A and B are shown apart, each in its own frame.
Chain A
Amino acid sequence: MRTIVCLKRVPDTETRIRVDASGVRIDTAGVKYVVSPYDEYAIELALRAKEGAGLGEVDLVTFGDASAQEALRKGLAMGADSALLLVGEPDMDGLATAKTLASELKESDAPLILFGAKAADDDQQQVGPMFAVLTGRACVTGVSTFTLEGDKAICHREVEGGTEVVEVGLPAVLTITKGPHDPRIASLKGIMAAKKKPLVEKAAQLHPSRMRVHALREPAARPAGRIVGQGPDAVPELVRLLREEAKAI
């Protein structure tokens, strides 16, 4: 069985984000990039599905510039079998990105296509379900783990106030969130093997963006807080401040 994972290269979550002189882009100097964290969970679940079935393959797809190769190699090193880079510049309009991915994958016979629940850069949480609608597939979002039963996937999701078990007919799109299975760390052997795995590049089919960045800004710094005191004796003063100054209780 073939599982496709769509992944995105994003700044490392430790990175300090600065807006550049243009005011509409971030300053990329010195930024370290990684595979978006939820996409790593998606790769892990895809690899587990393949290992569970004892056959099949895991294919990676990303839409990005040439430097996104590095993210694909990382996924290959984790154990994926092949990778496809759709070369272009994704922007804030998730629907345009979903259309680019759909143009490429619409005819795919893969029963499962996995996405991260959200990309750690724009946090839009939308490309997966949009892709599903565009390609006529069923979709379950926010899946922390799933099992395959015949032509169905049984998915666990966490929602406000509880958990759900959801059944979906294949072919399906699942968007993956953090769950019980931590992404594996690529072994040295995996990293070496990844160099020989197929990584194909082709021009992305682009769609016009209808979401324009008017401006970016850095968040206002929180006014310096204060240490109310040391140990339990500081509690009455804290409670007074919360009551009278912050009006929080």
Chain B
Amino acid sequence: MADVLAFVERRIGRIGGSAFEVVATASRVARAMGGSAHALVLGGAGASAGAAELAHFGAVTIAVGEHDALSEYSPEGYASVIVELVRQGGYGAVLLSATALGRDLAPRLAALLDVPLATDATGIEVVEGRVRIERPIYSGKAFAQLDLDATPALVSIRPNAFPAMESAAAGAVSTFTPQVDPSAWRVRVLERKGAAEGAVDVSEATVIVSGGRGMKDPSNWHLLEALRDALGTGVALGASRAVVDAGWRSHAEQVGQTGKTVAPKLYVAVGISGAIQHLAGMRTAKTIVAINRDADAPIFAVADYGIVGDLFEILPRLSAEIAALKAGS
């Protein structure tokens, strides 16, 4: 019997980073371990304000550590607070999101706790009391099932890969003041530049509209923006490496082997040939749509639906039809 801890991140002052998926998954793992799930949030003063949102995803308690020095992520600060709580809590497993923050934080926790770390899990189960995870390797060209021989089992989970199941019971929110010593921190953020207001990051988007070299020129991106806007909220723009290398789009948008790995509900690839390194980043999308004038482009081999033709003719029509549909429903 063991409890499970879900670390929940906040971003730009809000609960984020697929928090609900992490808490819901922790609660499922806790049931399998015969224990209960607990959520942990860190932030500045007032961080508990949004924590009630987490109450219905199966955690019995939601502890919010409030300290002004923790209002923004500090690797050293967050790691020290979490490690302390994990040591005290005697958890069977500790879960967090495989976001930029989680990827930075999780290996530090692993080294401090001296336990192995499974990152980017797409599946997790408890077999004879031990955690077994499944995760993609070779950028999705294979999947590995791994058994973790340590307590706690430390796992980061891939955003969008787990359901955020709600539960009837409500967890109790409490706050505490963590002990931190900012003077000892050696990593200091000098400057943060946010992306455009309301922009959604590809790694978290539920829908992605991606453009490749077939777009011909960066000035044509308004066609993709129109489709993004027609599709509603939670939609991000993505890009192939060819257009990132050409300087048309920022690296943050690149999908693939040397860009981001994404698993949205819908991925629309426009003017992208579908090189193996691009597919590595998006092949686990639930539904893939490809628009390409070359009927032999490899992207059609993974696409659920394709249209062969000139994207400059197809995109405006597609945006208009979807906008009309959304307006009607």
Contact = CB atoms under 8 A, between A and B. Distances in A.
The answer on A and B forming one complex is yes
Interface of A: 11, 13-17, 19, 26, 37-38, 92-96, 98, 120-134, 138-142, 144, 154, 158-169, 172, 177-179, 182, 209-219, 222-223, 225-232, 234-236, 238-239, 241-243, 246, 248-249
Contacts of A132: 108, 111
Dominant SS among interface residues on chain A: mixed
A126 B110 contact: yes
A121 B301 contact: no
Contacts of B300: 225, 227
A98 B110 CA distance: 11
A92 B144 contact: yes
Contacts, number: 268
B258 interface: yes
Given A231-B307, A246-B305, 17 more contacts: A17-B141, A120-B139, A122-B137, A123-B120, A126-B107, A138-B186, A142-B103, A158-B250, A159-B100, A162-B193, A211-B146, A225-B290, A226-B306, A227-B300, A235-B318, A246-B287, A246-B304
B285 to A, nearest CB: 10
Contact of B321 (A213, A214, A239): A239
Contacts of A211: 116, 118, 146-149
Interface of B: 11-12, 17, 75-76, 99-101, 103-104, 106-108, 110-112, 114-120, 132, 135-150, 186-195, 199, 201, 203-204, 207, 231, 245, 250-252, 254, 257-259, 265-266, 276-277, 280, 283-284, 286-290, 295, 300-310, 313-314, 317-318, 321-322, 325-326
B118 A234 contact: no
Given A161-B194, A179-B251, A238 B119 contact: no
Contacts of B106: 126
Which of B12, B99, B252 counts the most chain A CB atoms within 10 A? B252
A246 B75 CA distance: 41
Contacts of B110: 94-95, 126, 130
B289 A238 contact: yes
Contacts of B306: 225-228
